[in-house]
Amino acid sequence: MRLLHYLPILALPLAACESDTEVRSGIVQWMEWPAEVRANTPFNVQIVIAEPGDCGQQSTYRPRVFADQSAVTFSPYFIVEPPRPTCAAARAYYPPTGMLVIGALETVGIAPGLRASLARVFEMRGASSAYALPMSTAEVGGQPVRTFGSFTVRPDAPVDTRQFAAGFVAKLLDTSCARIIPIGVYHLDGAYVLEDQADTAGLRGAFVRGYIHQPPGPVCGESQRVFHLVARY
């Protein structure tokens, strides 16, 4: 696994609503956000978050976002119900990961309006894993904060209409067409055609950065939204 640089995450609430419940960090696996936004105007960020719990444990999502003069940070968490009594035997059967089912929540977070008298660049951050494909229960608790990318806040109307995107992905091959899909997303509507169909090496389980835009010409029949790959880790 490749270790990436990260910052310590802000502390979670000390207690859940009930004594037999547990507070767990959400793992942000994918984010999409505007390349430019207008100052003092809230904006939407699409997020894919790994849901904690196994053996059918019920969890309640709690959104959380922080903003300062340099970055917006999404740090969601979950209130997780106790596991079912039958989980002990099932967990013993899956010792490598300690997790039986990995699901993901697709949601939209709202970033607060940011002040800017001149065009300024902010970072987009999320509570995530410092490793590729987080799987173990040890990695799930207390996530670091990863920088997913950046965006510009302008005092006037945005000029750049691209949608920046970053996160952990899997590679899909459909006949001769290559796509990426965020880890934890299992429907093809969540996949994106790669703009450069020849640049597909090392994408399985990789953390990627790029942007979604309208290409100058159709790629694999897609003419509206394709993913332009900028970097992979």
What are the residue boundaries of the structural domains of the chain, listed by start? 22-154, 163-232
Please report, rounded to a whole number, the percentage of residues in the chain having pLDDT higher than 70: 76
First to last CA, the chain: 10
Residue owning tokens 């309640």: 60
pLDDT at 22: 85
- The answer to whether the CB of 17 falls within 8 A of the CB of 79 is yes
Q: What is the DSSP letter of 145?
A: E
- At 97-131, the pLDDT tens digits run 433 345 789 999 999 999 999 999 999 999 987 55
Cβ pair 27, 78 in contact under 8 A = no
Q: Which residues pair with 229 in a beta bridge?
A: 210
With beta carbons less than 8 A apart as the criterion, state whether 81 and 18 touch: no
Regions of the chain with pLDDT less than 70: 1-19, 53-56, 84-102, 130-143
Question: How far is 140 from 195, CA to CA, in rounded Å?
Answer: 33
pTM of the model: 0.81
Q: What's the rounded Cα separation, in Å, for the pair 85 and 99?
A: 15
Give the residue among 129, 122, 132, 121 at the shortest CA–CA distance from 146.
129
pLDDT at 52: 78
**CATH number for region 163-232:** 2.40.50
Please give the pLDDT value at position 130. 59
Lookup result for tokens 């119900």 = 81
